[in-house]
Amino acid sequence: MNKKLQLVVGIVVFVIAFIFKSLPVYIVSYLILGYDIFIKAFNNIKNKVFFDENTLMIIATIGAFIINENMEAVLVILLYQIGESLSDYAIDNSKDKIVSLMDSRADTARVIVDDKEKVIDSNKVKVNDVILIKPGETVPLDGVSLDDDISLDTKSLTGEVKPLIVYKNDNVLSGSIVLSKPLKIKVVRELEDSTVSKIVKFMRDASLNKTKTESFITRFSHFYTPIVCFLALLIFIVPTILGYNYQIFLNKALIFLVISCPCALVISVPLSFFSGIGRCSKEGILVKNTIVLEKACRINTIYYDKTGTLTTGDFKVDKIFPNKGVSISLLKELVTAAEIYSNHPLSKVLTFDNIKIKKSDITNLEEIAGKGIKCKYKKKELLVGNFNNRNVDALGSVVFVHYDNKEMGYLVISDELKSSSKLAIEELNDLGIKQIMLTGDKEKFAKMIATNLKIDYVASLLPIDKAEVIEKSLSNDKVVAFVGDGINDAPALAISDIGISMGSIGSDVAMEASDIILMHDNLKSIKKLIKISKYTNIKIRQNIVLALFFKILIMILGIVTPIPIYLAIFADVGVMLITILNSLLVFKKRFS
């Protein structure tokens, strides 16, 4: 039965029972409102979980019927179900906000076939198909722009209000909305691999893994419930044996059981984490699971990749140094021959448009991670990269060219710092976080950038070296994060306590290996992440203290002085509602 329908029907029958004071009608309303609680308790018993909050409520309410507290028996279930519904509403509300930000998928796509438009399901579109998106429509799949000067609304992906302008050959992400004029793109990923599909999956999986706090609450309820039942039994049996009125102490025992239901703890802790994840997503920070959110506030060391993370990643060839007897045009030809068919991010920079290369002249093309490209060009061996590990005094990355077993010269390429990098690092320095740049650049260039940013650095590293540096710094008493964006960063992202990747320009492999994705590509988001994590953990601690304090206080009062059972019910549900509202403050608070 639908939860809303269950509540409405149950309340109507309860009101009829209250008016006519009818025990059979009370029992009917009790069964309507509580049948799912019985099912949960039965399933748990089948799984050898004999005591939980469901068992506790069943024992308490059946006992209430035994002493003719019929209205109170139903009221326990009714108010619990209202609290559950409010919690479900709060979670659904948070999910709706996340989905409204992330689930911007178009169900259909307008494919261009023989200059004609054909509307088909997005999941049937193939790589290299050309699709047309009209103004106001959502881009259904990732692709490459075939048009110039197109405005896109990317709020649903990055939270960025300012429109993004794309030009021919620029990447276009699914979930973007076309603003200015019709856009044609060539599809580069099918629907299930598209950016927006991955983001939605990322968010839906976010609550699957339990944090230490959530696991503790689950374990706590497993031994807490039998202890409570045993104490309630003692409250009833001991005074009865001593000759006191059994009905008075049966009532006290039942009140004790009602108050002791750990609903506030069971509901508020996961809700707090969910609110924290929702708040992060609103800031363009995608968190993979609650475990990551719980420990993000304890980050005390951050390692950074340089290119595309601290710098723009927009490389340019600064200088060309041909060896004696080698012309600049020959050096450009050799570099272009090696790079023209490569997918490496630097290949576009090292491919000169005015140089024409025959595909048939290039054979045995091989990309060697951390080194460069090896191939045969016009039947002679060509190496472009840093295969000899020779140092050159240059402010940038050096690309050597070897052809036919001779060094032909080298090129120097460089990029510039992101405008936000320095400010973000200063803010994290103020939080007392140690920050280190890891780069493949030579010592002199790395030192220049690190000095400008006021952070430590380790230079001349291969991709696997970065992971080894991070592995050596891991320990139980600190949380180490790594921030990167490229395919070469995947080992470092995976081995760190928290891997953070740059979303818009980050590679698929980096995003898969990471725990957190920064959709803004802005390092200032890390400070917000840490603040949200701290605030979420504060709210969880507040909820635990609040719930335990009031429960222990009212349980003691219930033993030493008469308390009406309906007040015990309101006290229990009241604490639950307060903790739910306190959890939702995480989603509402502003974080600078």
Report phi then psi at 158, rounded to 5: -115, -15
Beta-sheet pairing, 143-145 with 183-187: antiparallel
- Of 223 and 137, the structure prediction assigns the larger pLDDT to 137
pLDDT tens profile 165-223 = 888 888 888 888 898 789 999 999 888 877 767 666 665 555 555 556 656 666 676 77
Task: List, in sequence order, every beta strand (DSSP E) within 420-536.
Answer: 434-438, 456-458, 479-484, 498-502, 516-518
Domain locations in the chain as residue ranges: 3-99+206-274+533-588, 108-193, 290-308+417-514, 316-414
Lowest mean pLDDT among 95-104, 427-436, 460-469: 95-104
Which residue from 539, 581, 516, 504 is spatially nearest to 280, judged by alpha carbons?
516
Query: d(Cα 530, Cα 99) in Å, to the nearest integer?
Result: 23
pLDDT tens profile 530-568 = 999 999 999 999 988 888 888 788 878 877 887 776 677
Q: What is the CATH number of domain 290-308+417-514?
A: 3.40.50.1000
pLDDT band for position 298 (cuts 50, 70, 90): very high
pLDDT band for position 406 (cuts 50, 70, 90): very high
Helices (H) and strands (E) in the chain, counts: 18, 22
Cα–Cα–Cα angle for 529, 424, 434, rounded to 5 degrees? 80
Tokens matching residue 17: 């029972």
Q: What is the CATH number of domain 108-193?
A: 2.70.150.10
User: Which CATH fold would you assign to the domain 316-414?
Assistant: Calcium-transporting ATPase, cytoplasmic domain N (3.40.1110)
Q: What is the pLDDT of residue 87?
A: 64
Q: What is the pLDDT of residue 423?
A: 93
Query: With contact defined as beta carbons under 8 Å apart, do 186 and 143 qualify?
Result: yes
Tokens matching residue 397: 């990355």
Q: What is the pLDDT of residue 228?
A: 81
Average pLDDT over residues 470-481: 89
Q: Just list the catalytic residues.
A: 305
Tell me if the pTM is above 0.75.
no
Residue 367's Cβ-side half-sphere holds a number of Cα atoms within 13 Å equal to 12
- Note the Cα 162 to chain centre separation in Å: 24
pLDDT tens profile 344-370 = 767 888 899 888 899 899 999 988 877
Is the pLDDT assigned to residue 105 strictly greater than 70? no
Is the pLDDT assigned to residue 107 strictly greater than 50? yes
User: 559: how many CB neighbours lie within 10 A of its CB?
Assistant: 15
What residues form DSSP beta bridges with 501?
484, 517
What's the chain's average pLDDT? 83
Is the pLDDT assigned to residue 455 strictly greater than 90? yes
Q: Which amino acid appears at position 137 of this protein?
A: E
Strand order in the sheet with 498-502: 285-287, 516-518, 498-502, 479-484, 299-305, 434-438, 456-458
DSSP designation for 122: G
- Of 75 and 50, the structure prediction assigns the larger pLDDT to 75
